[in-house]
Structure 1
């Protein structure tokens, strides 16, 4: 059964839509959301269609379903604020970029966290790096569609304490708080279709982009993912490399830096003073 894990944190008239990744959950965006809200922003942590349930729930959805839920969330947030920003993690970053391409008049700027066009990080097996392109053909032929690619340590996390907490929740089947332990091949195939679409739309993006990526990302190499965005978009960009995190930068060791950089970047887009950054207190206040 799919659980509702969305969260809404009211603030000022500047809103941020937060989008989690494939097989993920809004929980992986909650710390960032609390930090942004503490800096004054209204925050909506949305839930992608088919997520926070079991693998079968996810298999029944397409990338168009995921994107439709993003559009609906953006419409919801826009009713409550004057300015809309969007930020996403991994596949959520892809969806954020597509929203910016499709809605240039609505989206003020984009937070691009650990964007994933290619599964080519150091922890990805050799066969997977070179044969992911076959997933679309397997789906067309309806082969191995009940098979899943099982997550392996370090699960996108450099912080060992957080890694243990997340892996225990994930492996226990608590998908609403930690996401699924396996990536269904059918969902990975859908993501390949999304990747193709977003790549084509990158030159259309005029919104400023804050691109944050680990230089040691275990899932998506910074050169073929983050730098691709920086090279292709029309809008201005800032690339921030993180050295003490792996893929899940929104909950790993440098999560506070992700918050700080985002607050500064979004406020600069609005030509607002950066006083809000000084309101952030200890890590416990946003965890």
Structure 2
């Protein structure tokens, strides 16, 4: 997919920022934030996660092990040029961020999660649908793209129009079997940011994360938005908050 390429900016800095995009999306969603943080002098990496940026059929062939491998490899590459690395995850990219921090025994200098899913709105309904027609339907069509302003601030987001049902099941399993039981192992400083009215993620996700991570430094930031993706144009207030968090923990 044109425009889905990774972002890698070497500013010859001691500090790097690893950005992990959400499921079915691409590094394009970090275009504005990566420019903002690189202009502040940080090295920036936003890798393309396995199975993304090509086709839903390719994505369907991948699993969580492929996604975590992409994240770990991207971290290693950025760490080669940075003394300290902060991790920023968007949506399910946040869950991959939790996994990375745990696997690295809290080596990252800090973690920022944006719209991190623990509980979805209509969570039980999603699970019920996966249990019923999810066994014979390969793809779930996203809501009408004409209505995507209810979902994202990104005017030219590059993502799949359909979601492989197999991968949705994988994500639900990842949340329940990987993210939730291991939050207590996250001890690095953390900023938990969410839209004030997120149409995708249930707001109790924020409280659950804050109460279960074992970080001495943890902050919650509610960004005034009714969108799920809050990393595009018009989100400069959030960008400033992220920059401030990094400065205080570098």
- Paired positions, count: 245
**Structure 2 Cα separation of the partners of residues 5 and 148 of structure 1:** 25
Residue 6 of structure 2 is matched in structure 1 by 6
Question: Which sections of structure 2, spanning at least 5 residues, go unmatched?
Answer: none
Residue 183 of structure 1 is matched in structure 2 by 163
Contact 2:4/2:27, CA 8 A, preserved across alignment = no
- 1:174-227 CA deviation, whole Å, 9 max, x = no partner? xxx5101112211111111211211111011001111110111111122x2122
Contact 1:135/1:185, CA 8 A, preserved across alignment = no
Contact 2:5/2:27, CA 8 A, preserved across alignment = yes
Superposed CA RMSD: 2.2
Residue 284 of structure 1 is matched in structure 2 by none
Residue 189 of structure 2 is matched in structure 1 by 208
**Structure 1 Cα separation of the partners of residues 129 and 119 of structure 2:** 13
2:180 paired with 1:199: yes
**Structure 1 Cα separation of the partners of residues 150 and 16 of structure 2:** 28
Change (3 A) 1:66 1:138: farther
For residue 84 of structure 1, report the CA deviation from its aligned partner: 0.9
For residue 31 of structure 1, report the CA deviation from its aligned partner: 0.9
**Structure 1 Cα separation of the partners of residues 219 and 182 of structure 2:** 19
Question: Which sections of structure 1, spanning at least 5 residues, go unmatched?
Answer: 121-127, 167-176, 271-287
Residue 26 of structure 2 is matched in structure 1 by 25
Residue 73 of structure 2 is matched in structure 1 by 72
SS in structure 1 at match of 2:194: strand
**Structure 1 Cα separation of the partners of residues 80 and 53 of structure 2:** 25
Change (3 A) 1:89 1:203: same
Instruction: Specify which of 123, 127, 134 is matched with residue 133 of structure 1.
Output: 127
Contact 2:3/2:28, CA 8 A, preserved across alignment = no
SS in structure 2 at match of 1:86: strand
For residue 70 of structure 1, report the CA deviation from its aligned partner: 0.4
Residue 42 of structure 1 is matched in structure 2 by 43
**Structure 1 Cα separation of the partners of residues 58 and 132 of structure 2:** 19
For residue 245 of structure 1, report the CA deviation from its aligned partner: 4.3
**Structure 1 Cα separation of the partners of residues 55 and 152 of structure 2:** 26
Contact 1:87/1:112, CA 8 A, preserved across alignment = yes
Instruction: Specify which of 144, 153, 160 is matched with residue 136 of structure 2.
Output: 144
**Structure 1 Cα separation of the partners of residues 170 and 152 of structure 2:** 28
2:219 paired with 1:227: no
Instruction: Specify which of 218, 234, 241 is matched with residue 199 of structure 2.
Output: 218
Change (3 A) 1:185 1:132: same
Contact 1:136/1:192, CA 8 A, preserved across alignment = no
Instruction: Spell out structure 1 runs of 4+ moving beyond 3 A.
Output: 1-4, 134-139, 154-159
Contact 1:17/1:43, CA 8 A, preserved across alignment = yes
For residue 101 of structure 1, report the CA deviation from its aligned partner: 1.5
SS in structure 2 at match of 1:40: coil
Contact 2:106/2:186, CA 8 A, preserved across alignment = no
For normalisation by structure 2, the TM-score amounts to: 0.90
